[in-house]
Structure 1
Amino acid sequence: MRGHKGGLAGLKQLHQQAQDARKEVERAERVAARDRARLDQAAPEQEVDAFRKAMQSARPIKPRNQIEHRLAALPDSPAAAARRMHATGEKPGRADAGISDGGVAHLLSENGTAYVRADAAPDTARKLKQGHWRAGAELDLHGLRVEQARHAVISFLDECLGQGVRCVRIVHGKGYGSEGMTPVLKDKARAWLAQKTEVLAFSEATPREGGSGALLVLMQS
C-alpha cells in the first residue's frame, strides 16, 4: 500500500495525464475539422464519432484510498486513431484477428454470466465479483457497432496489459436502447473475452458496478 505522499503524487500524475489527453483531443479535432473536406468518406461520420467516444471512455478508475495502477498516455490517442481510420479507410480487425462473435457458450458458467479459464482457480470468477480485485480501468461500448466494439475491447485489453492493469470493467449495456430491448453486445462481449488467452476470468458486475450491463474482467499478470 502506498503512503499518503505516494497517493497524492499518483493523483497529480493522473490529473496531468487527463489534461494532456484533453489537449491532444482538442488538437486532433482542430486538425480533423480543417482536413475533413479532403478526406474520403471511408465510414459514416456518426460511426467515427461513436468509436472516438467509446475509446475516450477507456480511462483509469479513480482510486478511493490509494493508487493501485497508473495508466500512461496511450501511444496513439483515441481521437488520432479515429481520425486515421476515417482518413485511410482502415478497417478494425488487426488487434481482434481470429476473434469470433460466438461459439463459446460451453465455456461459460452461472447461466452464461461468468467464465474461468481451465487452468485458473475455480472460484476466481466468484472472488472477482466479490471485489477481491479492484478494477483499474473501464471501457464503455455504448454507441458502437459490433465490429467496432470487438476492436475496442481487444485493443483496450492489450493496452491495459501493457500498463500492468490486471482487472478492468467493460460496460456493454442492458439493451434498453436497442431494437427489441435486446442487448446486442452482451453475449458477444462474453464470447470475445473467453477467446482472449490472457483473460483468466470474468463475471457479471455487482448492481453497484453495472449489474447485467457490465463485466468485471481479470487478466493474467
Structure 2
Amino acid sequence: MSKDHTDLDDLDLFRQAIKGARPIKVDQADTGKPKTDRARIKAARQLAVQPTNRLKVDGLSDQFVIDVLPEEELAWAANGVQESQLRKLKGGLIPFEGSIDLHGMTVEKARELLWEFLAEANRMEIRCVRVTHGKAQRKDGRNPILKSHVNTWLRQHSKVLGFTSCTPRHGGTGSVYVLLKRTMLEGRDE
C-alpha cells in the first residue's frame, strides 16, 4: 500500500529520497587540481639559496646571514639615528612612499630587485619605503630565508638609516619599514 504525499511525514520523505544511496569513502572533493609535487618544490627551494657563479658587486654580503624567526620583530638603526625616529618608524608614523614585495622569489632575484628598488628610492629622494619579505612558516622547521637575508642586507646598505617590522595593517612581522638617507634636493625643507 502506497502512502499519498500528503500523508507522508518528513522522515518518510527523506528515506525515500536517499533510498539506494551509499556512504562516501573519501571526504575530500576532487577539484581537478594536480597533486603537489613535493620533490620538485624541495629541489626548487634548495636551488633558490644556491649562489650563482656571477660576481655581484653591490656591497651586500651573504657570508654571514643573521637567522631570524618567522614571528620575530626586526629593528635596527645605524649609529647616530635618534631613538625617537626609530619609535616613529616602528609606529608607522613616517609614511612610506614606495613598496616592494619579495614573496616567492629566489634569494638572488630578491637581492637584485631590492638593490634596484633602494637605488631608485634614493634617486627619487624618498625618505621611507616598505619591504615585504614574508615570514615563511616552513614545514621543515627551518627559519625564513628571505626574511633573514633582508634583515642582513639592510644592515649593510649604505643608504639605510634604520628599519623596523611594520604595524599589522602594513604586513606586521612579514614586512619592514626602511628609513633611508637622502641628500636634500634644492628647495626642499625638512
Normalized against structure 2, the TM-score is what? Answer: 0.59
What is residue 160 of structure 1 aligned with on the other side? Answer: 121
Residue 146 of structure 2 aligns to a residue whose secondary structure is: helix
What is residue 139 of structure 1 aligned with on the other side? Answer: 100
Q: After the TM superposition, which segments of 4 or more aligned residues of structure 1 sit over 3 Å from their partners?
A: 102-105, 176-182
Residue 210 in 1 paired to residue 171 in 2? yes
Rg (Cα) greater in structure: 2
Deviations 1:65-92 (A, max 9, x none): xxxxxxxxxxxxxxxxxxxxxxxxx958
Consecutive unaligned residues of structure 1, counting only runs of 5 or more, are 1-45, 47-89, 106-110
What is residue 183 of structure 1 aligned with on the other side? Answer: 144
Tell me which of the two structures has the higher relative contact order, counting C-alpha pairs closer than 8 angstroms and 6 or more residues apart: 2
Considering fraction of residues, name the structure with more helix: 1
Deviation at 1:103, TM superposition (A): 4.1
Residue 83 of structure 2 aligns to a residue whose secondary structure is: coil
Deviation at 1:171, TM superposition (A): 0.5
What is residue 219 of structure 1 aligned with on the other side? Answer: 180
Equivalent of 2:158, from 191, 197, 200? 197
Letter in 1 for 2:112: H
- Report the CA distance shift for 1:119/1:167 in structure 2 as closer, same or farther (over 3 A): same
Deviations 1:4-48 (A, max 9, x none): xxxxxxxxxxxxxxxxxxxxxxxxxxxxxxxxxxxxxxxxxx9xx
Count of residues paired in the alignment: 129
Normalized against structure 1, the TM-score is what? Answer: 0.51
Identity %: 37
- Report the CA distance shift for 1:104/1:115 in structure 2 as closer, same or farther (over 3 A): farther
CA distance in 2, matches of 1:189, 1:113: 10
Q: Give the 5 Å matches for 1:1-221.
A: 91=54, 93-94=56-57, 96=58, 98-101=59-62, 103=64, 113-176=74-137, 179-180=140-141, 182-221=143-182
Kindly indicate whether the alpha-carbon contact (under 8 Å) linking 2:73 and 2:165 is maintained by their aligned counterparts in 1. Answer: no
Consecutive unaligned residues of structure 2, counting only runs of 5 or more, are 1-43, 45-52, 67-71, 183-190
Deviations 1:88-130 (A, max 9, x none): xx95824x2x31136475xxxxx76101110211232221021
